[in-house]
Amino acid sequence: MNERKVFSLLQVSRAVKQRIEDAAGGGSFWIKAEIASIKMPGHAYLELVEHRNGVKVAVMRGIIWNSALVCINQALGDERGNILREGAEILFRASLSYSEVYGLSLRIEEVDLAYSLGELERRKKETIDTLKREGLWDLNRFVPMPMVLQRIALISSMGTAAYEDFMQHLDENEYGYRYHVRVFASVVQGDGAARELRAALERIDPRQFDAIVLVRGGGSKLDLEPFNDLELCRMVARMPIPVMTGIGHDVDVSVVDMIARSPHKTPTAIADFLVDRSLFFETALSGFLVNIQNTVLEAFSERKEMLGRYIEMLQVRPVMQCQTRRGALHTAVGQFARQVTEKLVLSNRLLDGHVSNLSVLPRHKLAQIETAKVRAQATALEGIAQRGFQVLLSRINGMQDAIQLMSPARLMRRGFSITRYQGVAITDPGAMNVGERIETTFANGTAWSTITKIERHGG
């Protein structure tokens, strides 16, 4: 039977320690974990956990030796209280350490500040997105702001610098305005602040106040955490009166600041705002007073002036009317005369146009027409002439017959004779005297005789 080899506990522990330290090689790692619990001061002892879907999947102890803690606190500055706290997720550099007495632990040497701030930003963005999705983002931002904010519900931590600053600024305003401030006390930073702030808001009856003022003194970036609380933001958004914030941070803005009706940098700035608003209101009132006085005075002087104008008008108007009418008549006559003249000139112009149109009608056209006319006439005349000639010829022929019938020889054969005196045929015996000789020709001879008696027939 083999002899059993028995190890002491220390031997085993040392062996494990040796193995682990060999494996780690003295190096350190960056590790991400949530702080389940932390115990200070002196050295800091932490319980580190990892959750997945709400189930704890890993647990390990962590330790920050006092010497490292001093350096870490320095590096984290004002934010250390918010980073090294229960529930925070941190990124840290640590080495594996094994103690024969305490077992395995992570020796933390450095904590990443940027990671913690990044986590804050991520949660803040989530809150903002949720508020927007729920339609709460603009609710308080567009609540009407009363002209004077006199009844103030103040949420603050009593006795802090923020509270004192605010109250002092309001009380000591140079215009003597009074504000009716009721305090709803609440812790404003650290664990439980969000819960207390919500409780304070719940106690406020908005019908009794003009505004809610939420103030806090300066603080670190992570101190703003309570003001990013989703439930608190929901309550602020739903407030039917303006919420004014003076949370006192120069660089960063909390979600409550973003959804409040009137965000300010400091409590003092809110007090100044309230006083300025009262002053503005009072100035507007004075403006009314001056305006009303001026308007009344003006109204009187205007009415007086108007009365004067009426009187003047009553005296002058009839004369003016006659003048106006006369003028109108004159104008009308002038217009009429001008229109007639214009019409005449226009007609003359038209006439001239016609004349000149006529004169420039192409001459050869006229000639053609004339020639054609002449030709036609000539042809007509030719016909007429021919016909006329024949008529004439027949007439001449007829006349020849008549002439032949009437020839003296033929007439004398019928018994007629011609009497001549001094060689000329006589038709009037008046030219002759008794006793003179006359010659009478007959068909077959001539006889001479002496006038014995002259008797003239009437006519």
Binding site for other proteins (CB under 8 A): 146-148, 150-151, 175-178, 180, 278, 281-282, 284-286, 288-289, 291-292, 295-296, 299, 303
Nearer to other proteins (CB atom), residue 295 or residue 348: 295
Interacting residues of 145 by C-beta distance below 8 A, sequence separation 6+ = 242, 261, 262
Looking only at the bridges linking them, the beta strands covering 44-52 and 55-64 are antiparallel
Q: Which is nearer to other proteins, 290 or 340 (CB)?
A: 290
User: Measured from the CB of residue 200, what is the shortest distance to other proteins in angstroms?
Assistant: 20
How far apart are CB 307 and other proteins at their closest, in Å?
12
Shorter beta-carbon distance to other proteins: residue 118 or 287:
287
Residue 210 Cβ vs other proteins, minimum distance, rounded to whole Å: 9
Q: By C-beta, is 299 or 344 nearer to other proteins?
A: 299
Total Cβ atoms within 10 A of residue 121:
13
| CB 122, min distance to other proteins, A | 43
* Cβ proximity to other proteins, 299 vs 454, nearer residue: 299
Distance in Å, CB of 176 to other proteins, minimum = 5
Q: Which is nearer to other proteins, 308 or 398 (CB)?
A: 308
Shortest spacing between CB 170 and other proteins, in angstroms: 12
CA within 13 Å, CB half, 451: 18
In 3D space, the residue among 70, 234, 90, 210 whose CA is nearest the CA of residue 147 turns out to be 210
CA 266 to chain centre: 41
Q: What are the beta bridge partners of residue 263?
A: 245
Torsion 406-410-415-421 (CA) sign: positive
**107 or 151, CB closer to other proteins?**
151
